[in-house]
Amino acid sequence: MEISKLYTLFKDKSFGEILFDEPMKNHTSFKIGGPADIMVIPNTEREVIESIKFCRDNHIKYFIMGNGTNLLVKDTGIRGVVIKIANGFDNIEIDGNKVICQSGTLISVIAKEALRQSLAGFEFASGIPGTIGGAITMNAGAYGGEMKDIVTKVRVLDKNNNVVELTNGEMNFRYRGSTVIDQELVVLGVELELEEGEYSQIEEKMKDLTHRRVSKQPLDLPSGGSTFKRPTGFYAGKLIDDAGLRGIRYGDAQISEKHCGFMVNRGEATFDEVFTLIKTVQKIVYDKFNIMLEPEIKIIGDD
């Protein structure tokens, strides 16, 4: 669809905040990415649903994102509409040991609220960047815990614009995957079940995991988190290190010297620099160990 027609269609719509020709580098933790033709930032469930339905009804290409913590966007940007479900769509309610939250809620915010309520079981996730919607979609995990361990219900929009509630068993949680991906669903809300605990113990565990994360990961530089998925029986970071690639750099894209599982932006890295380095690492690791590393970051954009 022509950009001028797209702009006209969205100019007076009440889907929340609407941005035109919006640089994606302002919305990704990698700080990389050209402009999206249109970005919609909904604040209510109605706005989320209506904006998606409008795109579907008008055959407009759209992409759903959260806080952009695992995205690598092409420098040419994204044609069509990006619907950002993040800040603004982030209400939290506590009901006993249940935490009910909208999908745009930051994981760090949920962790703080769980601590405040002395609810245990979410500590493993406290340092994971991004939103709970993205975490559910990918079954995010860390330090021995995964989202599948604490999710009881997930409220989603299906491909027929129906709002459906799925149980944990219906979510088909697995390593970095779920029914959300399989059926192209959109996460609207989540119910988590935690356990009553001791405030001091929960706080201490969160501090310990935070220290471990900060001491081992390059959190001081822009990145997309873990660059590659964990191959069965191996660790991507160790394979990259063993291949002699620690600190290897192409332009401003670099394999972190602190943690080889992370690729970082040293300043003004472009998509092409990061993508070239990804391909280089894949080839060298495959040639040495006969293991093909699969990207964990999501690569999107249009030429």
Distance CA 179, CA 165 (A): 12
In a 13 Å sphere around the CA of 34, the CA atoms on its Cβ side amount to 14
Give the domain range for residue 65: 3-84
Would you place residue 217 in the very low, low, confident or very high pLDDT band (cuts 50, 70, 90)? Answer: very high
Taking a C-beta distance cutoff of 8 angstroms, is the pair 34, 73 a contact? yes
Among residues 45, 113, 193, 296, the one annotated as catalytic is 296
Per-residue confidence band for 7, with pLDDT thresholds at 50, 70 and 90:
confident
Residue where one domain finishes, among candidates 186, 214, 242: 214
Question: Do both 249 and 205 map to the same domain?
Answer: no
In the listed set 53, 84, 115, which residue is the last one of a domain according to the structure?
Answer: 84
Same domain, 146 and 238: no
Two structure tokens written together for 282: 């894949």
Residues 106 and 146 in one domain: yes
Last residue of a domain, one of 183, 214, 245: 214
Point out the catalytic residue in the list 47, 51, 146, 176. Answer: 176
Q: Is residue 134 domain-shared with residue 24, that is, in the same domain?
A: no
E strand map for the chain? 17-23, 35-41, 62-65, 71-73, 78-84, 92-95, 98-102, 119-120, 141-142, 145-146, 151-157, 163-167, 186-193, 195-196, 223-226, 249-250, 253-255, 262-265, 298-300
Q: Find the catalytic residue in 103, 178, 226, 256.
A: 226
Q: Where are the alpha helices (DSSP H) in 117-198?
A: 132-138, 179-182
Dihedral sign for Cα 25, 182, 186, 19, please: positive
Q: Rounded to whole angstroms, how far apart are CA atoms 253 and 270?
A: 8
Helix ranges (H only) for the chain are 3-10, 45-57, 107-116, 132-138, 179-182, 199-216, 236-242, 271-289
**Between residues 101 and 87, the one the model is more confident about:** 101
What's the pLDDT tens digit per position in 35-65? Answer: 999 999 999 999 999 999 999 999 999 999 9
Query: At 17, which CATH number?
Result: 3.30.43.10
Q: Tell whether 113 and 210 lie within a shared domain.
A: yes
pLDDT at site 4: 86
Which residues sit opposite 75 in a β-bridge? none
- If asked whether residues 26 and 135 sit together in one domain, one would say no
What global pTM score does this model have? 0.93
User: What is the reported pLDDT for 118?
Assistant: 97
| Tokens found for residue 4 | 């001028």
Active site residue 296: yes
Strand 186-193 to 223-226 pairing: unpaired
| pLDDT, the chain, mean | 95
